[in-house]
Amino acid sequence: MRGISKCAAIVLVSALFIVGALSGSTSLAQSSSIKSLMGDNFQNIQVILYNLVTAQYQRLPNQIRVIHDHALELQKKVPDTVQTDIERRTYSAYAYQLESNTANMNTVLDVLIEHDKNPTEAGKLNIDYLRVVAARQFGEIVTTCVLCHNQFRRYAVK
């Protein structure tokens, strides 16, 4: 148990460091609406990580939904700095990937939440595996954000 808590603390601190670093990082969004979406996503990522680590799955759908909705909005709002066709396709691919990852995570969370309400017999549902899948989807969400920021935010946000 101590190992899990220590690991969770390391993951939390690492995520907070990444989120903090990214929030002051390079220049993708010149429009304040995109900056606002990104800021909301960073805050939600911290909340999601905490609730994943503490297995408070019922608290997660709202934060995941916010990021999902932002992904839909990002598909429509391509920043001015994204100019070439290949850049637009790449940016759109990241937005679609973010949408897909959040939808997948919500699907897994629905099962975990239902299990918490009505636990099934041991062996009928591999809850540990579903927790791993939820964590992996969370990792994909964060990775998608980092990849997009690395490519499109090369200058400090002011």
Q: What is the CATH number of the domain that holds 24?
A: 1.20.120
- Structure-token pair, residue 114: 């239902």
Asked whether residue 157 is assigned to any structural domain, the reply reads no
Asked whether residue 41 is assigned to any structural domain, the reply reads yes
* Mean pLDDT of the residues in the chain: 77
Lowest mean pLDDT: which of 39-48, 62-71, 108-117? 39-48
Asked whether residue 8 is assigned to any structural domain, the reply reads yes
Phi and psi dihedrals of 82, rounded to 5? -90, 100
Considering just the CA atoms, what is the radius of gyration of the chain in Å? 17
Asked whether residue 158 is assigned to any structural domain, the reply reads no
3-state secondary structure 82-135: CCCHHHHHHHHHHHHHHHHHHHHHHHHHHHHHHHHHCCCCCCCCCHHHHHHHHH
Give the chain's domain count.
Answer: 1
Cβ(62)–Cβ(25) below 8 Å: no
Q: Quickly state the pLDDT bin for 13 (edges 50, 70, 90).
A: very low
Q: What is the pLDDT of residues 28-37, one digit of tens each?
A: 344 566 666 6
Asked whether residue 64 is assigned to any structural domain, the reply reads yes
**Vertex 38, ends 75 and 150: CA angle to 5°?**
85
pTM listed for this prediction:
0.70
**Mean pLDDT, rounded, for 5-29:** 44
> What pLDDT was estimated at residue 78?
85
Asked whether residue 70 is assigned to any structural domain, the reply reads yes
Residue 7 domain boundaries:
2-152
